[in-house]
Amino acid sequence: MRRHPLRLLITAGPTREPIDPVRFLSNYSTGVLGHTLVAEAQRRGHAVLFITGPTGSPPPRGVKTVAVETALQMQAALERAFPAVDAVIMAAAVADFRPARAAAQKIKRSGVAGGLKLWRLELVENPDLVAGLATRRTRQVIMGFALETSRALANARAKLRTKQLDAIVLTQMRGPRAPFGDTTVDGAIVKSSGAVQPFRRLAKPALARRILDTVERLVAQRGKTSSAA
């Protein structure tokens, strides 16, 4: 099939939110799905800008990559690139909270043996990056992800609505850490039209193909409505 090449912004991986110079808050995201999406997008001839948190995987070849650590750095990179793209695929697992202050020096334990020492870490909420982009979209198609442990479809639909996304990829937790890493995934692609495309035990390359099929279709539909307007 001949495709119209798109400009895609793809994010992946976790963010790291510093506690002090040697510690951070993060999550188990591996960036595997994001890297798979980049490879599939390249295969289809799309121009990709890849914004990634620290994943341990080498940056993909032949793709402009911006490496970031924190949610706020990812936000800055996204905002710079956003106006020029046709679609955003927000696969990054952005930390929802960050320490209110990062200590300038390594925080020391009190050194007292025995007894329960309580140490409080104050957190502030990070901005919702994808929701922020959605409020400023001109023509961009915006796809988010929802990793859910309970009431999966209802939660994914709620996120689709509150973040004003065009589609959301729901992935469901099976094992203790699934679906991070090289596993198959259960879930669904839910569109703002209400359409739900469920999938079971799908390998990540097959999921990447479905995601890109959906994005390509949504961009084509948007093109039709904006040229008709």
Looking at beta carbons only, is 25 or 223 nearer to ligand C5P? 25
Peptide bond into 205 cis (omega under 30): no
Residue (of 74, 63, 118) closest to 96 by Cα position: 74
Active-site annotation holds for 155: no
User: Which of 7, 18, 19, 27 is an active site residue?
Assistant: 27
Q: Can you give the C-alpha Rg of the chain in angstroms?
A: 19
Residue (of 197, 168, 161) closest to 91 by Cα position: 168
Kindly report the length of the chain: 229
Q: Which residues bind ligand C5P (CB under 6 A)?
A: 71, 90, 92, 94, 96, 126, 128-130, 144-146, 159
Quick one: which H or E segment has residue 210?
helix 204-228
Give me the helix-helix angle, 32-43 and 204-228, nearest 10°.
Answer: 60
The CA distance from 33 to 148, in Å, is 16
Residue (of 157, 186, 189) closest to 174 by Cα position: 186
Least distance in angstroms from the C-beta of 39 to ligand C5P: 19
Least distance in angstroms from the C-beta of 155 to ligand C5P: 8
Looking at beta carbons only, is 67 or 223 nearer to ligand C5P? 67
Looking at beta carbons only, is 46 or 159 nearer to ligand C5P? 159
Looking at beta carbons only, is 191 or 223 nearer to ligand C5P? 191
Contact between 46 and 8 under an 8 Å Cβ cutoff? The reply is yes
Least distance in angstroms from the C-beta of 128 to ligand C5P: 4
Catalytic residues: 27
